[in-house]
Amino acid sequence: MSTPLVGKRILLIIGGGIAAYKGLDLIRRLRERGADVRAILTKAGEAFVTPLSVSALTGDKVYTDLFSLTDEAEMGHIEMSRDADLLVVAPATADLLAKMVQGLANDLASTTLLATDKRVLVAPAMNVRMWLHPATQRNIARLREDGVLFVGPNDGEMACGEYGPGRLAEPLEIVAAIEKALAGPTFIPLPGSVSADTRLLPALPLAGKHVLVTAGPTHEPIDPVRYIANRSSGKQGYAIAAAALAAGARVTLVSGPVALLPPPGVKLVPVQTAREMLEAVRTALPADIAIFAAAVADWRVADAGAQKIKKGAEGTPDFALVENPDILATIARDKARRPSLVVGFAAETEHVVEHAKAKLARKGCDLIVANDVSPESGVMGGDRNRVHLVSASGIETWPDMDKEAVARALVSRFGELASAVA
C-alpha cells in the first residue's frame, strides 16, 4: 500500500530528555510507511537512548560527532542537511530551540539545522515551567516567524510529577505532521538568493504584521463575589490568535476570563472587565490588524457592592446599569491610531445578517464576522462555527467548520485585505 511517506528522506534529530524513547517508536512508524530515516543523536540524547538502538531501527549509521574525520571529510553536516526532504527534531528541548533562534553551531545537531535549506518540523518536550517561561515563548514565536513548523507539545503529567503543556506529541501525531509538512513546499530560499527549485516557501501572509486579538467574555462585578457575564468560551478568538501567529504575525491577545491556555508565542494580556479590555487594547496599539472577537458585556452595575450583598428584609436589590465603553467603535473611529484593518464580531440569536449589517455601519469597522449563537446552534462554548462575512462589498456565508478551520480561513482573508489596504 502506497503512503505519502514512501521514498521520503527524513533526517531525525533526537534531543536529550526522557521523551527521547518515543523517537525510537517514531522511527519505526516512519519506516513502516516507507520513509528513509537517518538520525542525529545529541550528546544529551545519548543519556536516554543508545546509538545502537537508533541504528537498529533506522538501518543506517547514527551520527553524533561534528568532528568525525570520516564523515566530515565530505562535509557530512552539509550533505545531511541538504539531502533530506524534511528535518524533524523530536524531542526538541528548550536548549535546542534556543540554539536554533541564536544560530549557534557548536555540535552536529545545531550545525546541521543552521546549514539546512529544507523545512524543519520540531516537536517540543520539556518541563511545563520551562515551556511557559517567557524566554522559551519568545524563542517559539521567533522560530514560527522563521518558518519553522511545530507539532505539540501536549498537556499531561510530566516525568517530574507536574502537569501541563510540555509532553512530546505522540509518534503518530508527529507522523501526521510530517505528512502535512511534506505536502507543502520543501525548500527555504536564503534571503537575497535565487533558487532554481519551483517549490520555494511562500512568504507568510502576515509576516511583519502586528495583529491584535480580543477574546472571551468580560466579567462585570456586582459585588466581590458575583458578576455579569456571558457564555463565551474564547475558543474562536484563541484559534484566530494561533492562526495569525502561524501566518507570521506578532500577536497580542487581550483576553477576558477563559479556561484556555494561550497559544504558545502570543503575548497574552489578561483582563476582567470591559474598561480593562479597552485600556489594554489602547496600550497594545499601534497594530496593523485588530480583530475584536471578544463578547464584551454591554452593561455593568453602576455601583458595585464593596462587600457581598446579603439577603435581607429590604428585599431584592435594585441594580442600576450603565453602558460599557464600545471598544470596537472607539478603535475604529480613532483617526490617529486606527489599525489598517479593523474587524468586529456580531454574536446574534436572530436576524443575524441584518443585525451585522447595521453593526458594520454603526461601528465604523471594515468587516463584521457574524454568527448565530442561539442555544440550538451550539456555537457559544462549542467547537464549531458557521460565520457570515459582512462588508461594504457584500455578504459571504461560509459552511459549518471547526473553529480552528474558521480561524485559518479568516486569517487568510485578513491577510488579503491587509495587503489591499497597505
Catalytic residue ranges? 160
217 is in an annotated binding site: no
- Could you give the angle at which helices 21-32 and 51-58 cross, rounded to 10 degrees? 10
328 is in an annotated binding site: yes
241 close to 267: Cβ distance less than 8 angstroms: no
- Which backbone phi and psi does 128 adopt, to 5 degrees? -55, -40
Residue 194: burial class (beta carbons within 10 Å; 0-12, 13-18, 19+): exposed
DSSP label at residue 283: H
327 is in an annotated binding site: yes
292 is in an annotated binding site: no
Residue among 16, 36, 401, 13 nearest 182 (CA): 36
Give the CA angle between residues 412, 417, 420 to the nearest 5°: 130
363 is in an annotated binding site: yes
Task: Calculate the CA 340 to chain-centre distance.
Answer: 23
Where do the DSSP E strands lie in 293-393? 299-301, 321-323, 341-348, 367-372, 384-385, 387-391
311 is in an annotated binding site: no
117 is in an annotated binding site: no
Where do the DSSP E strands lie in 2-80? 9-14, 36-41, 62-63
d(CA 187, CA 183): 12
Binding-site sequence positions for CTP: 298, 308, 325-328, 345, 359, 363
